[in-house]
């Protein structure tokens, strides 16, 4: 009989074809999916060639998504994307999305049913951990590992220990998944879960939509975590039904599984939260942040660019206009989200409020384009990182928040709650 295991351990054991694994153990695993984007794929493709590989391990198990500088912002980014495009076409990669049908990778893959519960996924992007919201073990790797994965379909892992995050109580109106994950990162710090899996548990998980879970899993890397995993419950099963392209397996931690640490978060105690510069762990409540004037707001990204996020922002902006001197950029995360915004009239709300509505792109999140900050400018953003110079000039500042808070701040001209606009 195998030892009791957590979800993360069970997924890794299954993909290593072992009856059990233990934290710290080095294992070689078969991969369900390998992901790269227009920044990281060219390096992975170079590694692929240096290995002497002539064929990918499985043309249906590789995802290539040009999203960081796409549509291309300059000649260099166009060359990068061309490398990815040519590789995808020459190897008949089925999961390649060109501009016009693409989206931000970590919103696009779940939406398209490419990833699912029980999967083991590596991606040459740190926010690959997003798919843990679906009950997968997904993690970011370097481009070299991605290149090896594309050639062999395998990767080495050190089995992480797991931290249990028990969610209890009831969320108050106005509190979101973004507030929860910012609160957690503020609690434990940017290295509080270093090379560990965070497993979100408890009856209160039922309150979290799939979009909220993806936001939470997306940002566990900001606490140093290797993965952020939710058990597949009824809400997840309903969301997954008819969506995923492959059969999937939902794992559940054994009742007596060993956890490295247990954290309890009482949801009713949470307040709308902002991460101040220059770390996601530098958290304060919105009430403590109202004095901060802003020059720009960004609503989108792989963290908060889904339709639930667009609806939350539009609800706040309806009947208002962006404050004088403030720029607000709204970026639906995928073409499907963009289309739904149009069908629901959300795009009209944004345009009436004098927002810029962009095609899906990572754009400003990493200081790419579509909203670079000048010296001394401040931006409130629904993205995931606020490091020095993350969105532009080194003296600029980024404040991380939920879509509703970002929208209210854009209207008020300073960090604000939606209720401040009444």
For residue 371, what is the enclosing H or E element? none
Domains parsed from the chain with CATH numbers? 1-270 (3.30.499.10), 275-421 (3.30.499.10)
CA 310, distance to chain mean position in Å, is 16
Per-residue pLDDT averaged across 358-386, rounded?
95
Contact by Cβ (8 Å): 306, 106: no
- What per-residue confidence (pLDDT) applies to 99? 85
Per-residue pLDDT averaged across 143-171, rounded?
97
* CB within 8 Å of 90: residues ≥ 6 apart: none
| C-beta atoms surrounding 3 within 10 Å | 14
Q: What is the DSSP string of 12-42?
A: HHHHHT-S---TT-EEEEE-SEEEEETTTHH
Partnered with residue 408 across adjacent β-strands are none
Please check the confidence at residue 377 and state whether its pLDDT lies above 80. yes
Structure pTM? Answer: 0.96
Q: What does the block give as tokens for 414?
A: 């300073």
Determine the longest span between alpha carbons in the chain, in angstroms: 66
Please check the confidence at residue 272 and state whether its pLDDT lies above 90. yes
CA distance 255 to 243: 30
Please check the confidence at residue 1 and state whether its pLDDT lies above 80. no
The string of pLDDT tens digits covering residues 125-138 is 999 999 999 999 99
The string of pLDDT tens digits covering residues 19-47 is 999 999 999 999 999 999 999 999 999 99
The string of pLDDT tens digits covering residues 74-91 is 999 999 999 999 999 999
Q: What is the DSSP string of 85-96?
A: HHHHHHTT-SEE
Q: What is the DSSP letter of 167?
A: E
Q: What is the DSSP string of 107-140?
A: HHHHHTT---TT-EEEESSGGGGGGGGGT-EEEE
- What per-residue confidence (pLDDT) applies to 2? 76
CA distance 6 to 296: 42
SS3 label, residue 327: strand
Per-residue pLDDT averaged across 260-286, rounded?
96
Strand ranges in 141-276 using DSSP code E only, listed in sequence order: 154-158, 162-168, 197-201, 227-230, 261-266, 273-275
């Amino acid at each position: 009989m195998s030892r009791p295991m957590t979800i993360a351990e069970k997924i890794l054991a299954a993909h290593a074809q072992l009856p059990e694994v233990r934290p710290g153990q080095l294992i070689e695993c078969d991969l369900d999916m390998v992901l790269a984007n227009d920044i990281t794929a060219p390096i992975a493709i170079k590694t692929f060639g240096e290995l002497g590989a002539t064929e990918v391990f499985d043309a249906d198990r590789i995802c290539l998504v040009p999203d960081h500088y796409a549509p291309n912002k300059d000649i260099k980014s166009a060359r990068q994307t061309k490398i990815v495009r040519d590789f995808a076409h020459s190897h008949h990669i089925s999961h390649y999305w060109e501009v016009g049908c693409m989206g931000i990778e970590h919103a696009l893959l779940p939406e398209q049913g490419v990833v699912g519960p029980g999967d083991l996924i590596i991606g040459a992007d740190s926010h690959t951990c997003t798919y843990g919201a679906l009950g997968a073990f997904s993690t970011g790797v370097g481009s070299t590992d991605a290149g090896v994965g594309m050639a062999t379909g395998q990767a080495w892992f050190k089995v992480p220990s797991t931290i249990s995050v028990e969610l209890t109580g009831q969320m108050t109106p106005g509190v979101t998944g973004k507030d929860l994950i910012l609160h957690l990162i503020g609690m434990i710090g940017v290295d509080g879960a270093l090379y560990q899996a965070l497993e979100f548990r408890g009856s209160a998980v039922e309150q979290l939509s799939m979009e909220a879970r993806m936001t939470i899993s997306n940002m566990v890397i900001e606490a140093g975590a290797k993965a952020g995993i939710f058990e597949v419950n009824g809400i997840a099963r309903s969301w997954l039904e008819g969506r995923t392209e492959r059969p999937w397996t939902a794992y559940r931690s054994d009742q007596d599984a060993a956890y490295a640490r247990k954290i309890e978060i009482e949801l009713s105690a949470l307040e709308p939260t902002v991460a101040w510069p220059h770390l996601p762990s530098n958290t304060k409540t919105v009430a403590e942040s109202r004095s901060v004037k802003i020059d720009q707001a960004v609503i989108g990204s792989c963290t908060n660019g889904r339709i639930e996020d667009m609806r939350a922002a539009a609800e706040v902006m309806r009947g208002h206009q962006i404050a004088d001197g403030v720029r607000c950029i709204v970026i639906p995360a995928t073409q499907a989200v963009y289309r739904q915004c149009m069908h629901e009239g959300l795009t009209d709300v944004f345009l009436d409020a004098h927002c810029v509505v962009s095609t899906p792109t990572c754009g400003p999140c990493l200081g790419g384009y579509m909203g670079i900050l000048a010296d001394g400018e401040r931006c409130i953003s629904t993205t995931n990182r606020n490091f020095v110079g993350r969105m532009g000039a080194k003296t600029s500042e980024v404040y991380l928040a939920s879509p509703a808070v970002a929208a209210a701040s854009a209207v008020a001209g300073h960090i604000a709650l939606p209720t401040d606009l009444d």
